[in-house]
Amino acid sequence: MSSLNKAIIIGRLGADPELRYTADGIPVATFNVATTEQRRNKNGNRQDKTEWHRVVAWRRLGEIAAEYLKKGRLVYIEGRIQSREFEGRDGVKRRNFEIIATDMKMLGGGPPSEREERKPPAGTQGEIEEDFIPEVEDDVPL
């Protein structure tokens, strides 16, 4: 049986993506996505558990992410999980995991605090001016 390495997340960006270029001029964007799982504790109260996922998007996908994604935006990310080993400032070797994005879809609007209320212009919700009196014909056919 072959193996499978696939990750799918839907969450909100913690900050705007950061776009950089490799020495060869290849664009790469990095950003963090928060996913929140809601559970009930022993007392029946709702508890949220948030996980942060580092996402790396290469080439055109990275350019698109940097151009259109903003902090708080709801996004669908599909990709593969990759570990990366590095040495911390304290000299200790560490490992972190990131999602290498292969597909991305922007969902919904921006963050709830930035969404504009979409109200129709005044006078379009069936409002009637108080001094408006419709003309009525005296001869109503029966």
Domain ranges (residues) in the chain: 7-110
pLDDT of residue 51: 96
The CATH number that domain 7-110 falls under is 2.40.50.140
In the predicted model, what is the mean pLDDT of residues 49-58? 97
Residues 122-135: pLDDT tens digits? 443 433 333 434 44
CA-based max dimension of the chain: 96
pTM: 0.71
pLDDT bracket for residue 41 (50, 70, 90): confident
The DSSP secondary structure of 60-105, one letter per residue, reads HHHHHHHHH--TT-EEEEEEEEEEEEEE-TTS-EEEEEEEEEEEEE
Helix (H) or strand (E) holding 12: strand 7-13
Is the pLDDT at 20 greater than 50? The verdict is yes
Q: Provide the pairing of β-strand 46-58 with 18-21.
A: unpaired
